[in-house]
Structure 1
Amino acid sequence: MLTRPTSHQDFDRRFRFALPAWFNMGTDVIDRWAAVEPDRPALIIHREDGSPRFATYGYLSARSNRLANALKAAGIQPGDRIGILLPQSAEALIAHVAAYKLGAIAVPLAILFGSDALSYRLRDAGVAALVTTVAGAETVAPLRTDLPDLRLVLTVGGPGPGAGTVAFADAIARASDAFDPEETRPDDAALMIYTSGTTGPPKGALHGHRVLLGHMPGIQLAQEGLPRPGDVMWTPSDWAWAGGLLNALLPALYVGVPVVAFRFEKFDPERAVALMIRHRVTNAFLPPTALKMIRGAGETVAGAARLHLRAIGSAGERLGRETCLWAQEAFGVPVNEFYGQTECNAVIGSSAGLGVTRPGAIGKPIPGHDVVLLKPDGSVAAPGEAGEIAISRPDPVMFLGYWNQPEATAAKFRGDHLLTGDQGIADEDGYISFVGRDDDLITSAGYRIGPGEIEDCLGAHPAVAFAAVVGKPDPVRTQIVKAFVVLKPGVEPDAALADAIKAFVRGRLSAHEYPREIAFVDEIPLTTTGKVIRRAFRDKVAAEAAGN
């Protein structure tokens, strides 16, 4: 746990990571609190009837011990992979903690995955046990002939189909609530999160137990000194991803802050605001996509005056100056943007309370992390020059490697720097602005343009709900900027509106950045992590340019 610094400079001067010789995420997140305050609320489980259910640290400690015993009795050993295909719930957290205590490797999986996505990850990881819903078990059942490593499926909510499937409740009912956790070191493997696959086939990013300790400075800064009395955390992000798991759930529980658990079938801005009001949420991790959807819905923030928020952290995509300023005005609290990726998360960030904030920038290197911007020749970019965001190793949030892909792991590094594939620009004050992923950058008339700033500007137009921008091949300019726009309800698309939107962006940005073409669409495809799938639009415009 971090003590509150008086300034960012003071924090940076004083703070250094000092990892313990032994560390287990499961025991430190849950058992440490259960030993002293077993009745302390850990999860607030939202129910639509308005009566929340609470899961205490003591309850979660006992249940995770029972599950660890049940898994061990079934032959699951340290190092085995345990798949967790569950929505935000007590059972999902219990499965994570049990896996960590057992010395196994938790493999979180998004509940929205289809059969192909599940089959690929379960087979690639060699998952030995899966904890899921009955519906999840039914999806997996016909896949099991191609999953020889999968020996046990535990189903939450009742019995599931097929041999080797046991009801979760029955398994833990027969097990003891006393368990001796494995003694694990910070570098021992604990968690494998698959990349979202926006740039190629998903890869399993393997993390050690130390990943939680590495996240704490960035998350506590973004959440303005978490914990404070009365703090409550919530995120709509699936706990299957680094955003939900490592930017919200585990850091909050580690410092004794209860977390609201609820799964939206589809993110609903109005319900999100209502949920935060009902549970008196003080700290939220809201990805840029969620904030843009709330902004696009307009009247959904009418209840903002009744919110109890004191800080919002945001990461996962570029937030943008327009969205940041809108959110700070709408919610009346700091919106602290931070940056990272599945392989090395929460390494750049902001903290308005410490005076480290600049709308439109992702912040400065977070204390304890050495971040540089590298040019193609390996030299460090000067202020105002674009460079690839790179993190020096060793670093506690840095992954151990890609599962069974040593060549891909080696390619992720240049010397002692992990390469993110993301371009950034630092100013004279050290603030870093996110330009875009290398494959998202648009080259037009000699300019290299990131799509994020244009998308952010489009979102400020009163008719626009959401937008995605890609480069379209052009014989004169190399590429032109093309925007795909979702309009707000009740707005009719026409050529005059397209021209008005173009002029709006050109007036706010520059002549080389405005979209020369606009296509109105019904929706923007997103990954299960809430990131825009620009690849789908790039393929579309490439086909258009080729005359197909």
Structure 2
Amino acid sequence: MQSIFDQGPPPPCPAPFNLAAFVLRQAGKTPDKPALSILRPQGPDDWTYAELERAVRGTGTGLLRAGLQPGQIVLMRLGNTVEFPIAYLGAIAAGLVPVPTSSQLTEPETAKIIAELKPAAILRDPAIACAGHPLQIDTDALETMRALPPCDWAMGDPDRLAYVVYTSGTSGSPRAVAHAHRAIWARQMMVEGWYDLRPGDRLCHAGAFNWTYTLGTGLMDPWAIGATALIPEAGTDIAALPELLRTHRATLFAAAPGVYRRMLRDRDRLELPDLRHGFSAGEKLSRDLHRRWTDLTGTELHEAYGMSECSTFISSSPAHPTRGAALGQPQTGRRVAILGPDGTPVPQGEPGVIAVHKDDPGLMLGYLNAPGEKAARMRGDWFVTGDQGAMAVDGQITYLGRDDDMMNAGGYRVSPVEVEAALSAHPGIDQVGAAEVEIRPDTTIIVAFYTGPAELDEGALRTYVEQNLARYKQPRAFVHLDALPSGANGKLLRRALPAYFPTRSPNPA
């Protein structure tokens, strides 16, 4: 059997359509219900659905009164505050095209983005770095807009441009990924296929307001079904999260693996009586971390796989728990395949590149200002992700790492994820990344870079990997770092690891 998951497409997106109107569709039904609680030591800052909709649509009016026209691009240079999602949805409500960006970008980096996008305006916190632009709307002006009369929802073709996000750039130069309004319609497949999200839930996301993972999973998805979003205020210590989850009776929790790792550090039990389960995304969840969370909390962690170009489309869930090393299966309504080098699906169980069907409503429109790049990633009806995986007979997919991160050891292709998973269970290792390093011309070895309280004995590490990995998969050197290189979204940058390898000559035996 071929590696194809296809149980039929989802229902078509209705037309006319507006992403922001869909997200806030519950406001008319439950106006007084809390939509958002910003968690603070002195007490939460609560927003009802009516207050949230009023602020969003008032912002839409203000942006139009500032002279902006539907269809124009607005660059977002805002920090980790509630202004971020309000401005984002306000722009979309009025028919503008927001471009959320990381607050960590430097002024020269924003100059490149401005030159590429030519935005009509910049929505800016003055404390956030940004290159010059003739129309900058600051946070004071944005806050004032909230009280203006509501704008009309800019309804239209669900396939029209709604927003743009930038890829992390781990595979080259960052790319502007253009998404349609229908992208939010596609996210409904995640509600059952990953979250098991219900209107009565209180979903806490540990990320910042200005991270797209938080924006989607932590805010828009719970709002679209009438649940309550909980977001810790900026600067909250990760060590304080368990108490916040207990105090505010969170039923669901979402974070990146690094957050879970730090929450569990130096603990032998974690009491979260209201929590049903947690979600993990952003990087591969190690089996050891997964096991520790379930042992210490008594709840499950459900992992998801996605990308800037298509959000999340493979995941585990309460209805479809993960099996073995698999990360999950395609969500109902998704069409996913594992392709070989010739662009056709491989037999079940064989490795290949993960691909999503061209008609998936969550798939991007394309790369802005680079229309040929999407076409270059198409293999017939399939958009290739650049990530390796293998599909079992029941549709479960095991993630094998980035195609361009795959290492070569004596002619064998080795997944860095497999090496990292083995080492992550070793005592004294907090985080690990594996990469192929050239130690002299035409000679490469696998190197493990790790963080932890102290440098570990290399002989003990060699003995450990000999016991846990086939010889061709074993790292030949180990490098202790204070921190692993990561992008603005917290993802491990494996391509940057070789630069951290010391000049000493390792023993490649």
Please tell me whether the aligned partners of residues 94 and 151 of structure 2 are also in contact (alpha carbons under 8 angstroms).
no
User: Which residue number in structure 2 is paired with residue 325 of structure 1?
Assistant: 291
Choose between structure 1 and 2 for higher RCO, CA contacts under 8 A separated by at least 6 residues: 2
Q: Which residue of 2 aligns with 1:153?
A: 137
Amino acid at match of 2:88: H
CA deviation profile, 1:36-88 (whole Å, cap 9, x unmatched): 22111111012233x10101111111112221111111111111112233344
Which of 73, 85, 90 aligns to 1:93? It is 85
Tell me the CA shift for residue 420 of structure 1: 0.5
Pick from 194, 198, 207: which aligns with 1:227?
Answer: 198
Describe the shift of the 1:12–1:202 C-alpha distance in structure 2 as closer, same or farther (beyond 3 A). Answer: closer
Query: What letter corresponds to residue 271 of structure 2 in structure 1?
Result: A
Match of 1:337 among 303, 316, 335: 303
Alpha-carbon separation, structure 1, partners of 2:436 and 2:470: 16
Q: 2:451 aligns with which of 472, 476, 486?
A: 486
C-alpha contact (below 8 Å) 1:12/1:368 kept by paired residues: yes
Amino acid at match of 1:226: L
User: Are residue 22 (structure 1) and residue 6 (structure 2) matched?
Assistant: no
Question: Normalising by structure 1, what TM-score?
Answer: 0.86
CA distance in 2, matches of 1:484, 1:465: 11
The alpha-carbon deviation at position 450 of structure 1 amounts to 1.3
Asked if the contact 1:81/1:129 (under 8 Å) is kept, the reply is: yes
Q: Alignment identity in percent? A: 30
Q: Secondary structure at the match of 1:111?
A: coil
SS of 1:247's equivalent? Answer: helix
Say if 2:398 is the partner of 1:428: no
* Partner residue, 2:281: 315
Q: Residues 473 and 545 of structure 1 are in contact (CA less than 8 Å); yes or no, is this contact kept in structure 2? A: no
Matches within 5 A, 1:403-442: 403-442=368-407
Query: Aligned pair 1:471/2:436, yes or no?
Result: yes
Cα distance in 1, alignment partners of residues 498 and 57 from structure 2: 48
> Does the CA-based 8 Å contact 1:391-1:418 persist in structure 2?
yes
RMSD over aligned Cα, in angstroms? 2.5
Instruction: Provide the residue aligned with 1:214 in structure 2.
Output: 186
Secondary structure, counterpart of 2:359 in structure 1:
coil
Instruction: Tell me how far apart the structure 2 counterparts of residues 408 and 241 of structure 1 sit (CA, whole Å).
Output: 25
Instruction: Assess if the C-alpha contact under 8 Å between 1:222 and 1:311 holds in 2.
Output: no
Residue 473 of structure 2 aligns to a residue in which SS?
Answer: coil
Q: Deviations over 1:480-520 (max 9, x none)?
A: 210111113xx4x25xx222123223322322222210011
> What does 1:107-146 correspond to in 2, within 5 Å?
107-136=99-128, 139-140=129-130, 143-144=131-132
In structure 2, relative to structure 1, the CA distance for the partners of 1:543 and 1:365 (3 Å cut) is: farther
Q: Determine the C-alpha separation between the residues in 2 that align with 1:485 and 1:456.
A: 12
**1:471: Cα distance to partner?**
0.8
Which residue pairs with 1:298 in the alignment? 266
Distance 2:411 2:374 in 1: 33
Aligned counterpart for 1:194 among listed residues 166, 173, 179: 166
Letter in 1 for 2:180: G
CA-to-partner distance for each residue in 1:69-117, whole Å, 9 max, x for gaps? 1111111111111223334433222112211111111211122222223
Aligned mates of 1:358, 1:242 — CA distance in 2: 28
Q: State the alpha-carbon separation in 1 of the partners of residues 256 and 114 from structure 2.
A: 27
What count of residue pairs does the alignment treat as equivalent?
502
Whichever residue aligns with residue 38 of structure 2, its letter is I
Query: Structure 2 counterpart of 1:257, which letter?
Result: A
Q: Which of 24, 28, 31 is the equivalent residue of 1:35?
A: 28
How far apart, in 2, do the equivalents of 1:327 and 1:63 lie? 38
Residue 67 of structure 1 aligns to a residue in which SS? Answer: helix
What amino acid sits opposite 2:113 in the alignment?
A: R
CA distance in 2, matches of 1:271, 1:456: 27
Q: For residues 343 and 102 of structure 1, do their structure 2 counterparts lie closer, same or farther at Cα, with a shift above 3 Å needed?
A: same
Question: Does the 8 A contact of 1:219 with 1:247 survive in 2?
Answer: no
User: Quick check: 1:270 aligned with 2:270?
Assistant: no
Q: Is 1:504 the equivalent of 2:464?
A: yes
> What secondary structure, in the 3-state scheme, does the structure 2 residue paired with 1:317 have?
coil
Which amino acid counterpart does residue 445 of structure 1 have in structure 2? Answer: G
Q: Deviations over 1:4-24 (max 9, x none)?
A: xxxxxxx98687322112221
2:117, 2:244 → 1: CA distance?
A: 35
Structure 1 counterpart of 2:438, which letter? P
Counterpart of 2:38 (choices 32, 45, 48) is: 45
Matches of 1:509 and 1:93 in 2, distance apart? 45
Residue 382 and residue 188 in structure 1: after superposition, are their counterparts in 2 closer, same or farther (change >3 A)?
Answer: same
Do the aligned partners of 1:348 and 1:364 also contact (CA within 8 Å) in 2?
yes
Instruction: Give the aligned partner of residue 3 of structure 1.
Output: none
Q: What's the secondary structure of 2:127's corresponding residue?
A: helix
Structure with greater helix share of residues: 1
Aligned to 1:360: 325
1:77 and 2:69 equivalent? yes
Cα deviations by residue, 1:219-264 (Å, 9 ceiling, x for unpaired): 43222x21153x1112223444442222332111101111112355
The Cα of 1:545 is off from its aligned counterpart by 7.9
Quick check: 1:68 aligned with 2:60? Answer: yes
SS in 1 for 2:437: strand
TM-score (norm 2): 0.92
The answer for unaligned runs of 5 or more in structure 2 is none
Counterparts of 1:260 and 1:92 in 2: how far apart (Å)?
15
1:519 and 2:493 are equivalent in the alignment? no
Counterpart of 1:305 in 2: which secondary structure? coil
